């Protein structure tokens, strides 16, 4: 029996009919063609499929799509500015070579995004803990941790620069 | 002096990967593709009495069923033809494919696979090396005597290979020695651990050809093998490689590609298969498990006199990559130390397990872990500092390798000294903290590789190479640098077309630390060819001498008159649209060695050998056996680092893979097969397990490699486990002689239970 | 496959009753997904998503208890002020569960009902002597001691039953959580010890010790608790209590993750450490060093 599901993904509303056994990952990849989110293990033990549901990092492979009804989902596809350029986090991963094969990267960036939303200036150990559910086999994590620290510093700097005169427009966008 | 080669650069694929736009095989969209599934044996060993696919063929949605009855029956594999696409008589491991089905939906394919009626007669499996070597043991291959094999391959019953290096008289050396030390070790099987499970799609083409979409380390090699097996015209088989989500040796041998190809050849549909982690785990080509024993005699002053080492590797149901692992283990067992008398042997043993494969530096972490723990034991017995003992015996230029190769550009001592200094060797430590060292050597290799570099009429610069980018950066990181330097542009402006066999730029693939060595040479040669053509064409249009023209920013300019310039675009236009340069990797002769010293070695001399030392500092909880690695330093000889960021990436990643090998990773088997196919219980290191890593690039140039480089992908995974093991012993006085050194095993070692 | 989102416990119970063994309660869903591979079997399943049931949500004080809805996630526990104040041991256990992604969805109810012997949350709740509110279509809602619920292996609830909430007695106490894994993060415990007590001077009172990974179910270390009652907390006492817990209370098994002998040893070391850390600090948690 298919279930109606209303999803808000990266700001776009979708009305879908979904079989209750399907995961959020399957719906994102197969129905919405948002293939930036990857499946690595399908059991919640690698983090490649990490997306944000209501700003909380979850494994999309374990998340029932029907359970995401009327919730906001954010994926790696949302990590680009309107002009297509990468936002602070992916930009830092590019700059610090915080990736090699790139398969864990979308999930890694979404976990980092959740961390920085709740803790804008984490210590290195906090970054490591926050990313402990995301397995990377290529990098040894050092460049990933450096990427997140750099993004945090950049975002804090940006915050400082924009804070004195918050323009009403940018505020409403946020 | 080059302005670009050897400088840190952003890799070409970074932006696509960091924003989720990079397309991996499972991300491809196909119109009306059928879903394929593989039916696998539930038994580790059984005789197949009958297979009936009739009912499955009639199930809803089914478009093709393939099994031993309708696919070629010829055997394949490396130096022993012991394997079939689908087993003909026996299944030899739990999870071995016996049939495959394609259907409209995955659920229909699963249902049809379940309807295939296979009559098995279950037999008693041989699950360990001990069982396989026992007198009267069940033969994994009852008909082994009839197998076709290469002339040098040793085979007897369940032993399917033996390599040996012998020089001098080890017994005499032991008699003369002040101490003779024995050590023995057990080694776990491990998985490559790529995060992307394997997937592929295939479609029959109207011209009788076949297109395969996949993420392979060796698309050209796989294409040849596939064409030969299915009797297809190789030129009509096309492999289109996608981004590869990690490989580490696990994507060299075909796996999923076989089955989508077999199914696609039997229907009129594109067939795709996306393996789950569990299925990928059942079909894994693991790192060899096994055991080893070492005996070394040394003089009182620490001079090493003689060594006997013996490995037995569990290669699983078929030979797989056993030959390489065994050979490499013997080459590493005594290296990089000057030991006059050697008897080094490695045996390969069949069991009813998955087929062991070439996981990143096959034989490397295995042999280095054993050898380096053993060397520390010799040093301890003599009360000699382990660093001092290593420095005293380490090869220098002019020394001979175990097989009689004259060595040059030897940097063993330099890597030892630099890593020891960086870890604070000799400084006092608090209780339960320790430091350890581990040193080894590795080879580069050079394979056939072709490349084109094109300057098109819009001025853009394109590299076409057969080399796949598997994540290491050997293509996306290094190739643009090599081209940009010669064309005077920024590496970010170089566009890459990689590993599509339709481009007819052959490449032997990414393995054996060969990628930049071979493809880099080919691409650089092609870039030089384009450069010559650009200059020649500019000579005419600028009316200047070639020597006075420089290439910069997409223009050919007259030196000293930067405005007197012509754009690449115009030069390409004038040449009819595109200027194409072609290049190939030059053939390099293997170094000489002494054939009298070796037995069964397919290659016994190492090209452009490199040296690597890891140093580790650990904190051990002696009550629980828990180990925290605080720091790993790896000093690695890259010969010359074309792309230093990439080299550091290999060292850092290798450090943590080596840590996993040493501390947490173990593919476990029960009496019938793998217990932990998933990542819940196969413990890949997390960001919390990973220590601070210091990468030290040593540059002792080779005479063979482009710009003096040496292969860098495999060495850094070989040394960390030994360094961690030695650090554990330094901390608490004991170390398990078994990988992984889990808390339980460390606790047992401390308490000698 | 059928799917329901009942609004009230009673509605959920009607569904559980109607579908009997084919009903599956969806809370965090992390374990359930594996049981639902496509196929005829899965098609019979009725998935009952209980997220709308307000009785099963929330963390609040209720008289002498902290009431934690079965749907409270590990992440919600770690962020909740009342939980941090009144159930610090449960918070410490929740912090060590899995990784961020799992903590954001894994629920208290799901952890208990999984019956996993190494469950972090179950061990902490055992050490609290928590009470569980179990609703059933057959009878009145009943209150069951967590120890009784966890005394059998999964499925720990009968068909038609629903775990609604757990209630943790509020009181002054010290606590400690000690855990050992093979990897340093993102793994279930090989063995974990959850302990709490009251200290009057240096005399131990109201000692509760629970063991994860030390048997086929999470266990109370009743022998060690009894031996400790009224004793002075010092190194010798802690060591002996560890020994008693290891020898008399633990019923470790050997599996592919660890041997029984090592697990028994860990019970002894971690019990001793938990006791000693309670003497020096009111609340603490440690994993692998």
In whole angstroms, give the CA distance from residue B504 to residue B465: 9
pLDDT for the residue numbered C286: 87
- Note whether B745 and B692 are same-domain residues: yes
**Phi/psi at C103 (5° precision):** -60, -30
The range of the structural domain enclosing residue B300 comes to: 289-445+591-751
pLDDT of residue A164 exceeding 80: no
Do B468 and B429 fall into the same domain? no
Q: Is-contact B467 B481, C-beta < 8 A?
A: no
What is the token pair recorded at B171? Answer: 């017994």
Residue B342 pLDDT greater than 50, yes or no: yes
> Is B330 inside any structural domain?
yes
What is the predicted pLDDT for the residue at A166?
A: 47
- The residue that leads in pLDDT, B290 or B598, is B290
CA angle A145, B713, B339 (to 5 degrees): 120
- In B74-144, where do the E strands start and end? 90-91, 97-103, 117-122
CA distance B261 to chain A (A): 23
| CA dist C236 → B114, B390, C246 (Å) | 61, 46, 15
Interface contact B683, partner A, CB < 8 A: no
Helix intervals (H) in A15-79: 24-26
Q: Please check whether residues B356 and B472 belong to one and the same domain.
A: no
Residue B152's pLDDT band, with cuts at 50, 70 and 90, is confident
Is residue B370 within 8 A of residue B378, CB to CB? The reply is: no
Residue C194 has pLDDT above 60, yes or no: yes
Q: How far is residue B87's CA from residue B209's CA, in Å, rounded to a whole number?
A: 26
Angle of CA points C174, C175, C181, to nearest 5°: 165
Instruction: Give the pLDDT band of residue A170 (cuts 50, 70, 90).
Output: very low
Is pLDDT at B358 greater than 70 in this prediction?
yes
Q: Is C85 on the interface with A (CB under 8 A)?
A: no
Is the pLDDT at C38 greater than 70? The verdict is no
> Considering CB atoms only, which of C180, C183, C261 is closest to B624?
C180
What is the spatial distance between Cα B634 and Cα B671, in angstroms, rounded to a whole number? 39
Q: What's the Cα-to-Cα distance from B694 to each of A106, A147, B725, rounded to whole Å? A: 26, 17, 18
Q: How many structural domains compose chain B?
A: 3
Q: How far is CA B682 from CA B37, B263, B677, B753, C257, in A?
A: 24, 32, 7, 25, 10
Neighbours of B288 (CB within 10 A): 31
Looking up tokens 């009743």, which residue turns up? C222
CB proximity A44 to C under 8 Å: yes
Q: For residue B511, what pLDDT band results from cuts at 50, 70 and 90? A: confident
Q: Which two tokens stand for residue B625?
A: 């056996």
Chain B residue with the nearest C-alpha to that of C273: B623
Is B276 near chain C, with CB under 8 Å? no
Return the number of other C-beta atoms located less than 10 Å from residue A149's C-beta. 18
Whether C38 and chain B come into contact, CB under 8 Å, resolves to yes
Taken in order B547, B553, B556, B557, the sign of the CA dihedral is negative
Residue B601 confidence (pLDDT): 72
Same domain, B234 and B276: yes
B728: chain C residues, CB-CB within 8 Å? none
CA distance A17 to chain B (A): 18
Same domain, B743 and B696: yes
Whether A172 contacts chain C with CB within 8 A = no
Distance from the Cα of C122 to chain A's closest Cα (Å) equals 20
**Looking at the partner chain, which of C39, C258, C269 has a beta carbon nearest the beta carbon of B107?**
C39
pLDDT band for position A1 (cuts 50, 70, 90): confident
Q: How far apart are CA B569 and CA B456, in angstroms?
A: 7
Domain locations in chain C as residue ranges: 2-49, 54-169, 174-287
Residue B2 lies in a domain: no
Q: Determine, for residues A47 and C33 on separate chains, whether the beta-carbon distance falls below 8 Å.
A: no
Predicted confidence at residue B406, as pLDDT, reads 96
Lowest mean pLDDT among B18-32, B135-149, B589-603, C133-147: B589-603
The CATH class, in words, for C54-169 is alpha beta
CA dist., res. A144 & res. B653, Å (int)? 11
Contact B722, B614 (CB under 8 A): yes
Q: What residue spans in chain A does CATH classification 1.10.150.120 cover?
A: 88-166
Among the partner-chain residues A40, A45, A103, the one whose CB lies closest to the CB of B680 is A45
Residues B600 and B722 in one domain: yes
**Given a cut of 70, is residue B1 above it in pLDDT?**
no
Q: How many CA atoms lie within 13 A of B369 on its CB side?
A: 35
What average pLDDT does the segment B55-71 reach?
98
A146 to chain C, closest Cα gap in Å:
20
Across the interface, whether the CB atoms of B245 and A77 are under 8 A apart is answered: no
Is B555 inside any structural domain? yes
In the predicted model, is pLDDT for residue C154 greater than 90?
A: no
Q: What are the tens digits of pLDDT across the range A115-157? A: 999 999 999 999 999 999 999 999 999 999 999 999 999 999 9
Residue of C nearest to B690 (CA): C184
CA-derived radius of gyration, chain A: 16
Shared domain check, B573 and B627: no
Q: Give the pLDDT mean for C73-87.
A: 97
pLDDT digits (tens, 9 = 90+) for C82-93: 999 999 999 999
All CATH 3.10.20.30 domain ranges in chain A, comma separated? 3-78
B684 contacts A132? CB cut-off 8 A: no
- Please tell me the distance from the alpha carbon of residue A50 to that of residue A110, in angstroms, as a whole number: 6
pLDDT band, very low/low/confident/very high, at B516 (cuts 50, 70, 90) = confident
pLDDT band at C6 (very low <50, low <70, confident <90, very high): very high
Contact (CB<8Å) B621/C288: yes
* Region B573-589 average pLDDT: 92
A157 contacts chain B (CB < 8 A): no
Tokens encoding B737: 């002689």
State whether B355 and B467 are in the same domain: no
Q: Please give the DSSP secondary-structure letter assigned to residue B586.
A: P
- Judging by DSSP bridges, how do beta strands C161-169 and C142-145 pair with one another? unpaired
The answer to whether residue B179 is domain-embedded is no
Q: Are residues B485 and B531 in the same domain?
A: yes
Q: In chain B, what residues touch C182 (CB-CB under 8 Å)? A: 664, 683, 742-744
A89, A152 contact by CB (below 8 A): no
**What is the spatial distance between Cα C252 and Cα C216, in angstroms, rounded to a whole number?**
7
C2 touches chain A (CB under 8 A): yes
Q: What is the DSSP letter of B436?
A: E
Helix (H) or strand (E) holding B198: none
Whether residue B548 lies within 8 A of chain C, CB to CB, comes out as no
Where residue B278 sits, what CATH number does that domain have?
A: 3.90.1170.50
Q: Say whether residue B692 is in contact with chain A using an 8 A CB cutoff.
A: yes
Give chain C's radius of gyration (CA, Å): 19
What is the rounded CA–CA span in Å between residue B391 and residue B386?
9
| CATH class held by domain C174-287 | alpha beta
Same domain, B677 and B648: yes
Which CATH number is B632's domain given? 3.30.365.10
pLDDT tens-digit profile of A20-67?
999 999 999 999 999 999 999 999 999 999 999 999 999 999 999 999
* Largest pairwise CA distance in chain B: 85
Residue of B nearest to C186 (CA): B686
B675 in contact with C, Cβ within 8 Å = yes
Residue C33 confidence class, pLDDT cut points 50, 70, 90: confident
Chain B nearest CA to A48, separation (Å): 8
H helices present in chain C, as ranges: 9-19, 40-43, 74-79, 81-86, 88-95, 100-103, 108-114, 120-127, 146-149, 222-228, 235-244, 260-280
For residue C105, list chain A residues with Cβ-Cβ distance below 8 A: 58-59, 62-63
pLDDT in tens, C172-188: 999 999 999 999 999 99
Write out chain C residues lying below 8 Å of A58, CB-based: 101, 104-105
Q: If you measure CA to CA, which chain B residue comes closest to A129?
A: B688
Nearest to A132 among B27, B646, B686 (CB): B686
Residues of B in contact with A40 (CB under 8 A): 195-197, 245, 277, 679
Indicate the pLDDT class of residue C139, thresholds 50, 70 and 90.
confident
User: C51 touching A, CB under 8 A?
Assistant: yes
Closest partner CB to B626 (pick from C99, C185, C288):
C288
Question: Parallel, antiparallel, or unpaired for β C219-220 and C203-212?
Answer: antiparallel
Name the least confident of A58-62, B349-353, B381-385, B517-521.
B517-521
Q: What is the mean pLDDT of residues B590-609?
A: 88
> Average of pLDDT values for C178-206?
96
Residue range A3-78 forms a domain whose CATH class is alpha beta
Cβ of residue A132 closer than 8 Å to a chain B Cβ: yes
Interface of A with C in 64-93 (CB under 8 A): 64, 66-67
At residue A174 the predicted structure's pLDDT band, cuts being 50, 70 and 90, is very low
**B194 contacts on A by Cβ (under 8 Å):** 101, 103, 137
Whether B7 has a pLDDT exceeding 90, the answer reads no
Q: Is the dihedral of CA B595, B597, B598, B604 positive or negative?
A: negative
Please indicate whether, in this complex, the C-beta atoms of B652 and A145 are within 8 angstroms of each other: no
Q: Let me know whether B206 and B275 are in one domain.
A: yes
- Chain A: residue whose CA lies nearest to C42: A21
C3-21: average pLDDT: 96
Distance CA B500, CA B502 (A): 5
Q: Mean per-residue pLDDT for B117-122?
A: 98
The pLDDT assigned to C288 comes to: 82
CATH placement of domain C2-49: 3.30.43
Candidates A46, A95, A99; nearest CB to B17: A99
| Predicted TM-score of the model (pTM) | 0.97
Q: Does the CA dihedral C30-C35-C38-C42 come out positive or negative?
A: negative
pLDDT over 70 percentage in chain B: 100
Q: Which residues contact B175 (CB under 8 A, 6 or more apart)?
A: none
Nearest-CA distance A65 → chain C (Å): 11
Query: Is B681 in Cβ contact with C288 (below 8 Å)?
Result: no
Measure the CA–CA gap between B403 and A17, rounded to whole angstroms: 67
Confidence at residue C289, expressed as pLDDT on a 0 to 100 scale: 64
Q: Per residue, what are the HEC states of A92-156?
A: HHHHCCCCCCCCCHHHHHHHHHHHHHHCCCCCHHHHHHHCCCCCCCCCCCHHHHHHHHHHHHHHH
Q: What is the DSSP letter of B634?
A: E
The helix (H) or strand (E) run that includes residue B240 is strand B237-241
Contact yes or no for A97 and B27 at CB 8 A: no
Chain CA centroid to CA B97, Å: 24
User: CB B688 to CB A93 under 8 A?
Assistant: no
Rounded Cα distance, B313 and B122, in Å: 26
Return residues 30-59 of A near B (CB < 8 Å): 33-43, 45-46, 48
| Contact between residue C225 and residue C199 where contact means Cβ atoms under 8 Å apart | no
Residue B606 and residue B481 in one domain: no
- Chains that contact C by 3+ CB pairs under 8 Å? A, B
CB–CB contact B107 C257 (8 Å): no
Cβ of B688 within 8 Å of Cβ of C39? The answer is no
Fold type of domain A88-166 = DNA polymerase; domain 1 (1.10.150)
Point out the residue among A44, A56, A132 whose CB comes nearest to the CB of C30. A44
Q: Taking a C-beta distance cutoff of 8 angstroms, is the pair C240, C227 a contact?
A: yes
């Amino acid at each position: 029996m298919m279930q109606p599901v209303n999803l808000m993904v990266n700001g776009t509303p979708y009305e879908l009919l979904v079989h209750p056994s399907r995961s959020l990952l399957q719906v994102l990849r197969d129905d919405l063609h948002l293939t930036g989110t990857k499946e690595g293990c399908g059991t919640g033990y690698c983090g490649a499929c990490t997306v944000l549901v209501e700003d909380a990092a979850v494994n999309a492979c374990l998340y029932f799509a029907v359970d995401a009804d009327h919730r906001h989902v954010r994926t790696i596809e949302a990590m680009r500015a309107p002009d297509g350029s990468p936002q602070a986090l992916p930009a830092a991963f590019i700059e610090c070579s915080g990736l090699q094969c790139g398969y864990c990267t979308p999930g890694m960036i979404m976990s980092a995004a959740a961390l920085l939303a709740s803790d804008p200036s984490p210590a290195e150990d906090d970054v490591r803990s926050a990313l402990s559910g995301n397995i990377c086999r290529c990098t040894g994590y050092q460049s990933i941790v450096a990427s997140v620290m750099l993004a945090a510093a950049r975002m804090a700097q940006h915050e400082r620069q924009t804070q004195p005169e918050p323009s009403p427009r940018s505020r409403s966008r946020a | 002096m080059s302005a670009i080669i050897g400088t840190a650069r952003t890799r070409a694929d970074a932006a696509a990967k960091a924003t989720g736009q990079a397309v991996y095989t499972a991300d491809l969209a196909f119109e009306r593709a059928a879903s394929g599934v593989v039916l696998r044996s539930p038994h580790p060993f059984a005789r197949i009495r009958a297979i009936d696919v009739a009912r499955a063929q009639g199930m809803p949605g089914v478009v093709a069923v393939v099994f031993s009855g309708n696919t070629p029956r010829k055997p394949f594999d490396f130096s022993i033809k012991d394997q079939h696409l689908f087993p003909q008589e026996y299944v030899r491991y739990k999870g071995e494919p016996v049939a495959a089905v394609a259907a409209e939906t995955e659920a229909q394919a699963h249902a049809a696979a379940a309807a295939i009626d296979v009559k098995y007669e279950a037999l008693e499996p041989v699950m360990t090396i001990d069982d396989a070597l026992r007198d009267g043991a069940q033969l994994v291959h009852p008909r082994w005597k009839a197998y076709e094999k290469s002339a040098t391959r040793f085979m007897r019953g369940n032993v399917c290979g033996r390599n040996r290096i012998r020089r001098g008289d080890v017994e005499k050396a032991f008699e003369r020695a002040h101490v003779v030390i024995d050590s023995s070790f057990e080694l776990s099987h491990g998985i490559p651990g790529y995060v992307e499970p394997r997937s592929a799609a295939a479609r029959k083409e109207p011209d009788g050809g076949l297109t395969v979409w996949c993420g392979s380390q060796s698309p050209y090699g796989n294409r040849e093998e596939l064409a030969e097996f299915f009797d297809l015209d190789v030129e009509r088989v096309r492999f289109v490689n996608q981004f590869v989500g990690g490989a580490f040796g696990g994507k060299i041998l075909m796996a999923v590609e076989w089955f989508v190809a077999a199914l696609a050849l039997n229907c009129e549909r594109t067939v795709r298969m996306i393996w789950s982690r569990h299925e990928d785990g059942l079909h894994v080509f693991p790192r060899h498990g096994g055991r080893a024993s070492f005996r070394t005699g040394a003089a009182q002053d620490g001079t090493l006199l003689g060594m006997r080492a013996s490995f037995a590797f569990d290669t699983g149901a078929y030979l797989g990559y056993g030959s390489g692992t065994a050979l490499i283990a013997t080459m590493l067992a005594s290296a990089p130390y000057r030991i006059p008398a050697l008897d080094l042997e490695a045996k390969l043993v069949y069991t009813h397990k998955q087929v062991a494969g070439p996981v990143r530096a096959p034989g490397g972490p295995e042999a280095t872990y054993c050898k380096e723990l053993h060397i520390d034991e010799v040093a301890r017995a003599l009360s000699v500092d382990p660093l001092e003992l290593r420095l005293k015996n380490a090869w220098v230029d002019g020394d001979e390798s175990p097989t009689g190769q004259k060595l040059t550009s030897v940097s063993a001592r330099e890597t030892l000294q630099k890593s020891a200094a960086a870890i604070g060797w000799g400084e006092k430590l608090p209780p339960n903290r320790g430091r350890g060292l581990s040193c080894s050597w590795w080879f580069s290799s050079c394979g056939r590789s072709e490349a084109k570099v094109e300057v098109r009429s819009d001025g853009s610069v394109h590299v076409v190479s057969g080399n796949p980018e598997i994540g290491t950066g050997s293509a996306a990181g290094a190739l643009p640098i090599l081209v940009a330097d010669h064309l005077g542009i920024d590496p970010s402006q170089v566009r890459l077309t990689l590993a599509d066999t339709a481009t007819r730029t052959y490449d032997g693939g990414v393995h054996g630390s060969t990628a930049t060595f071979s493809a880099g040479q080919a691409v650089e040669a092609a870039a030089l060819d384009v450069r010559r053509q650009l200059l020649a064409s500019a000579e005419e249009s600028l009316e200047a001498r070639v020597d006075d023209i420089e290439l910069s920013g997409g223009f050919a300019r007259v030196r000293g008159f930067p405005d007197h310039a012509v754009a690449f675009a115009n030069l390409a236009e004038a040449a009819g649209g595109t200027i194409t340069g072609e290049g190939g990797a030059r053939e390099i002769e293997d170094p000489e060695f002494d054939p009298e010293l070796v037995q069964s070695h397919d290659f016994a001399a190492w090209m452009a050998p490199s040296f690597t030392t890891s140093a580790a500092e650990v904190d051990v909880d002696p009550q629980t056996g828990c180990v925290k690695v605080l720091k790993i330093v790896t000093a690695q000889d890259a010969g010359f680092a074309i792309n230093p960021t990439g080299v550091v990436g290999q060292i850092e990643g290798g450090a943590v893979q080596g840590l996993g090998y040493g501390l947490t990773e173990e593919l476990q088997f029960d009496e019938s097969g793998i217990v932990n196919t998933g990542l819940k219980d196969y413990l890949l290191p997390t960001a919390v397990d990973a220590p601070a890593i210091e990468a030290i690039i040593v540059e002792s140039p080779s005479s063979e490699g482009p710009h003096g480089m040496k292969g860098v992908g495999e060495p850094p995974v070989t040394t960390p486990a030994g360094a961690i093991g030695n650090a554990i012993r330094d901390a608490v006085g004991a170390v398990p002689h078994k990988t992984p050194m889990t808390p339980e095993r460390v606790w047992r070692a401390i308490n000698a239970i | 496959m059928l799917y329901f989102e009942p609004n009230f416990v009673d509605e959920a119970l009607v569904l559980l009753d109607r579908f009997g063994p084919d009903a599956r309660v969806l809370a965090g869903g992390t374990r359930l997904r594996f049981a639902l591979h496509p196929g005829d079997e899965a098609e019979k399943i009725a998935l009952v998503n209980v997220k709308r049931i307000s009785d099963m949500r929330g963390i609040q004080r209720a008289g002498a208890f902290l009431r934690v809805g079965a749907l409270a996630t590990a992440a919600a526990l770690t962020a909740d002020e009342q939980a941090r104040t009144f159930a610090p041991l449960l918070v410490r256990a929740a912090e060590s569960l899995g990784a961020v992604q799992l903590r954001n969805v894994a629920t208290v109810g799901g952890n208990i009902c999984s019956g996993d012997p190494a469950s972090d949350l179950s061990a902490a709740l055992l050490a609290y002597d928590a009470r569980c509110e179990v609703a059933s279509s057959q009878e009145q809602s009943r209150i069951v001691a967590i120890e009784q619920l966890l005394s059998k292996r999964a499925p720990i609830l009968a068909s038609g039953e629903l775990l609604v909430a757990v209630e943790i007695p509020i009181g002054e106490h010290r606590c400690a959580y000690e855990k050992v894994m093979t990897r340093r993060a993102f793994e279930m415990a090989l063995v974990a010890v959850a302990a709490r007590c009251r200290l009057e001077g240096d005399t131990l009172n109201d000692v509760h010790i629970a063991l994860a990974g030390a048997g086929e179910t999470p266990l109370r270390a009743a022998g060690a608790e009894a031996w400790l009652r009224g004793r002075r907390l010092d190194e010798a006492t802690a060591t002996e209590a560890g020994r008693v817990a290891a020898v008399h209370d633990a019923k470790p098994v050997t599996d592919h993750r660890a041997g029984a002998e090592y697990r028994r040893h860990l019970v002894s070391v971690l019990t001793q450490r938990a006791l000693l850390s309670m003497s020096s600090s009111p609340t603490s948690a440690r994993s692998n060093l």
